[in-house]
Structure 1
């Protein structure tokens, strides 16, 4: 059992580390073109091979690596809850504190560094997931499938080419062009002011975005719930015994996800804007492909040979929150005006090379860091707050003991 537990922990850390490679690659488009400009290559003069690579990223990477983080978030939530229960501590109380701090870190991240933050969303979603914490695996699967079907159904509704798409307006395009100037050559203060105060949407589009923001935890909830179910079922406890299952799921989910995403990305480029199901790639395809990646990665742990690269993925994963925030600090310095000012200039492929070089540095440095320290600085802060302990460890519950006169005392 101890060996199985060790393998499971290695897999969890390794998958987190691996997912950060895709996350930084997808985020490169926001670092370099902005949250509203990443899907508007024409406004930045992207063409030819760079445009083809841009479409490849939207098919294979964008929207398919952050769901891996969501899956592992749900997985880790259940494992932490079980650990707290074993110590006779209150899981929901500790988890609520953890989610609150994640939300605060996300707010600071979004306000002072970058508009593409995901931590605020994870913090909010965590509170929603507390409703499912003690559900059985069958119930978690039922809710996940139900929500995935509902989300997928929304993507089946064909677009009306005559109806304007929210965010596709002269106002938004003007905002994108302004962002190119501000982010590319502005000072830190100018960029922060633009990010926090400029309005990218018209009033009617802002209402639509607000509604979608309220629904967002429900739209992405299936991946969190499936991660929780995997923890309850022990899906990754014995990779070698599950090798066949991993292979089948990787092929089914990966293939389906790639097809739906490719259809959603390429069909409009070929004049199929009014075809039904174009939204399935965005609504469902990313999560399906993420599941394919998860089970394909699990196959690496199902073999007899252990690759040296896995240990580096695991080191990056142990420092996942610190590494995620470091990616923001480094990449905004590369692309923003107060750094090297490459916003909108480097190109898609060159930008990918730059951010993957950042990730390669994290692969090299993370194991070196862990030789001297047990946990990352941000992870340490999160643990201290979660457990209300300077050591960052769960407090041992004081158990009553009987004194000589028969009265109960706390030990």
Structure 2
């Protein structure tokens, strides 16, 4: 087995693993809404559900999505290297890919769910392509470190302050109460209208524009760490580096949990917001190292192979999670919005992801890519087969496939 093939299997497995954590974190939004999840006192939680809520906020939320982010940056570097080896146009390939990813995200966010991240990834892809893809590994590491510090600084403020940072308490409370009613019992059109047209923030246009332009710098650290890892050829031989991954995991996971937990240990301390944000990124890196260690130890297990299968069709699985969960929680489905509770929600996640593990494993035995991934490849390569078209009878110096 070649090192490239081993690396691809590790990355797919890690991507599949991260999708479970993303589902757990997103369950908060599916159950309580994008704003309601952060003012959870408006919902009646049992003591056990309250404990489960803190667990999800500290150990899961803002620490699994960054794994996906890291892998996005890593994969960009690997795709660039592959395109260059095959003498394909890098920028055209990536621009087409990110344009369709942006389109998927807009459709996903407008018509299905407010927690979409594909739009953000489409925009970040263009940002990274324009400013960072050709940079040296050392430059990426320096910028990633700078942006990591900036991420912590951006979180400055207490838990209670940050909760109402962009909206007054009464306005946000009223919005969440309206959301409970609309999402729990409304029709599809009523829910879509509320999601797209009711805004509790009332942010001025210039403030929104500033936030839009500044967001890539706040969220870019894990993208750049991933690109750095890609250039340094991490994960090519996890067995040889197993002890090193174990040491990193043993250091970063406890540190990340401690830093994230400060927000709940000292909710009125302004510095706790910064440590919470910084802890989220460090915990993500710890989880990445920890999974690499586990992969080296249990590479041949069914669970690792199932993670790999989920990761190979991760975009299709991500969108399927939205369809299933909105059907469970929204009024046009079963209408369990705000009613199920944290622990029950976790078990729902385990059930959904368990089905995806088995279903994905069976699916990839017959098909190489997922249905959404197939559409992305067709568009990116301008080819019904999803593969780049070869140009024939060209001089040797320009004999390269049509960019895809």
* TM norm structure 1: 0.92
In the aligned structure 1, how far is the partner of 2:219 from the partner of 2:103?
Answer: 21
In the aligned structure 2, how far is the partner of 1:65 from the partner of 1:167?
Answer: 27
For residue 170 of structure 2, what is the aligned residue in structure 1?
170
Task: Sort the Cα spacing of 1:89 and 1:43 in 2 relative to 1 into closer, same or farther, 3 A.
Answer: same
- SS of the residue corresponding to residue 172 of structure 2 reads helix
- SS of the residue corresponding to residue 272 of structure 2 reads coil
The correspondence for 2:332, drawn from 335, 338, 342, is: 338
* TM norm structure 2: 0.93
- SS of the residue corresponding to residue 396 of structure 1 reads coil
In the aligned structure 2, how far is the partner of 1:108 from the partner of 1:129?
Answer: 23
In the aligned structure 1, how far is the partner of 2:215 from the partner of 2:400?
Answer: 46
- Provide, for residues 373-409 of structure 1, a one-character-per-residue CA deviation record: whole Å limited to 9, x for no partner: 111000000011111111111233546349xxxxx99
For residue 405 of structure 1, what is the aligned residue in structure 2?
none
- SS of the residue corresponding to residue 240 of structure 1 reads coil
Which of 253-262 and 206-215 deviates more? 206-215
Residue 306 of structure 2 is aligned to residue 312 of structure 1: yes
In the aligned structure 2, how far is the partner of 1:317 from the partner of 1:158?
Answer: 36
In the aligned structure 1, how far is the partner of 2:11 from the partner of 2:179?
Answer: 38
For residue 376 of structure 1, what is the aligned residue in structure 2?
370
Following superposition, the deviation at residue 3 of structure 1 comes to 2.7
Following superposition, the deviation at residue 162 of structure 1 comes to 12
In the aligned structure 1, how far is the partner of 2:162 from the partner of 2:310?
Answer: 47
For residue 386 of structure 1, what is the aligned residue in structure 2?
380
Which of 304-313 and 67-76 deviates more? 304-313
Q: Which stretches in structure 1 are left out of the alignment for 5+ residues? A: 403-407
Task: Sort the Cα spacing of 1:168 and 1:32 in 2 relative to 1 into closer, same or farther, 3 A.
Answer: farther
For residue 198 of structure 2, what is the aligned residue in structure 1?
198
Aligned 8 A contact 1:166 1:208 in 2: no
Task: Sort the Cα spacing of 1:105 and 1:370 in 2 relative to 1 into closer, same or farther, 3 A.
Answer: same
Task: Sort the Cα spacing of 1:45 and 1:158 in 2 relative to 1 into closer, same or farther, 3 A.
Answer: closer
Following superposition, the deviation at residue 303 of structure 1 comes to 2.7
Task: Sort the Cα spacing of 1:66 and 1:383 in 2 relative to 1 into closer, same or farther, 3 A.
Answer: same
For residue 151 of structure 2, what is the aligned residue in structure 1?
151
For residue 181 of structure 2, what is the aligned residue in structure 1?
181
For residue 100 of structure 2, what is the aligned residue in structure 1?
101
Task: Sort the Cα spacing of 1:260 and 1:198 in 2 relative to 1 into closer, same or farther, 3 A.
Answer: same
- SS of the residue corresponding to residue 278 of structure 1 reads helix
In the aligned structure 1, how far is the partner of 2:188 from the partner of 2:68?
Answer: 29
Aligned 8 A contact 2:21 2:60 in 1: yes
Asked which structure has the greater CA Rg, the reply is 1
In the aligned structure 2, how far is the partner of 1:156 from the partner of 1:334?
Answer: 36
Aligned 8 A contact 2:250 2:286 in 1: yes
Give the aligned length. 399
For residue 222 of structure 2, what is the aligned residue in structure 1?
223
After superposition, residues 34-183 of structure 1 pair within 5 angstroms as: 34-130=33-129, 131-156=131-156, 165-183=165-183
In the aligned structure 2, how far is the partner of 1:343 from the partner of 1:157?
Answer: 30
- Provide, for residues 3-43 of structure 1, a one-character-per-residue CA deviation record: whole Å limited to 9, x for no partner: 32221111011001000100000000000100000111110
Q: Which stretches in structure 2 are left out of the alignment for 5+ residues? A: none
Aligned 8 A contact 1:24 1:355 in 2: yes
Following superposition, the deviation at residue 124 of structure 1 comes to 0.3
Following superposition, the deviation at residue 105 of structure 1 comes to 0.3
Following superposition, the deviation at residue 255 of structure 1 comes to 1.9
After superposition, residues 158-307 of structure 1 pair within 5 angstroms as: 165-203=165-203, 211-268=210-267, 273=268, 275-303=269-297, 306-307=300-301
Aligned 8 A contact 2:392 2:399 in 1: no
